[in-house]
Structure 1
């Protein structure tokens, strides 16, 4: 079973293409993601209005959606890009929310 972690190694890049006053934050969850499960979870969240503008490809191993006024890109490898982040604390908070939403898609394979 996956245990939640809030100790993310976050790298900030500036400027964000979408907003030059914001950052692109990159990190990873440390686990691979089952894309078919992730896409189902995200489709459900889209139907309930928790996320918007979803694009999810099992074949390409990537999902992109808007959440908490940010654009989130999740990769099968567990990598995450957060666009329009105001800084490291904001990125960490966003990752915690995304992790809670998609935790059931994490596989048992970890990357250190």
Structure 2
């Protein structure tokens, strides 16, 4: 997984937006099934759309978007370390 950007939120610089890219494309139905195991623990409001090729969920105050292309974005992260930990866990589940 490659972290492509870490940027402070324009409206609140103490909050970060992180963008990462996985090496492979993601099978949305399979990834959604894997993420559903974590639902209720670290993942809330899991929504999957095979038609759109995307998965969305929240983890605490962070919103995560996963795309079939392998792109993952984390919005509203309190710091880049927290976002990286979440990204690593998500990558484990969806790859």
Q: What band does the TM-score fall into relative to the shorter chain?
A: 0.7 to 0.9
Deviates more, 1:88-97 or 1:69-78: 88-97
Computed over aligned residues only, the root mean square deviation of the Cα atoms, in angstroms, reads 2.0
Q: TM-score normalised to the size of structure 2? A: 0.81
Shift of 1:63: 0.4
Q: Quick one: which of 41, 44, 47 aligns to 1:52? A: 44
For residues 93 and 40 of structure 1, the distance between their equivalents in structure 2, rounded to whole angstroms, comes to 20
Residue 9 in 1 paired to residue 3 in 2? yes
- Matched residue count: 93
Q: Which residue of 1 aligns with 2:20?
A: 27
Is residue 9–residue 76 contact of structure 2 (8 Å, CA) maintained in 1?
A: no
| Counterpart-to-counterpart distance in 2, 1:86 and 1:71 | 12
Compute the displacement of 1:61 (Å). 0.3
Q: Residue 86 of structure 2 aligns with which residue?
A: 94
Q: After superposition, what is the alpha-carbon deviation per residue over 1:14-40, rounded to whole angstroms, capped at 9, x for unaligned?
A: 2166xx220111111121000110122
The gaps in structure 1 that reach 5 residues or longer are: 104-112
**CA radius of gyration, larger in:** 1
In the alignment, which residue of structure 2 is the partner of 1:41?
34
Superposition TM-score, scaled by structure 1 size: 0.70
Q: Which runs of 5+ in 2 are unaligned?
A: none
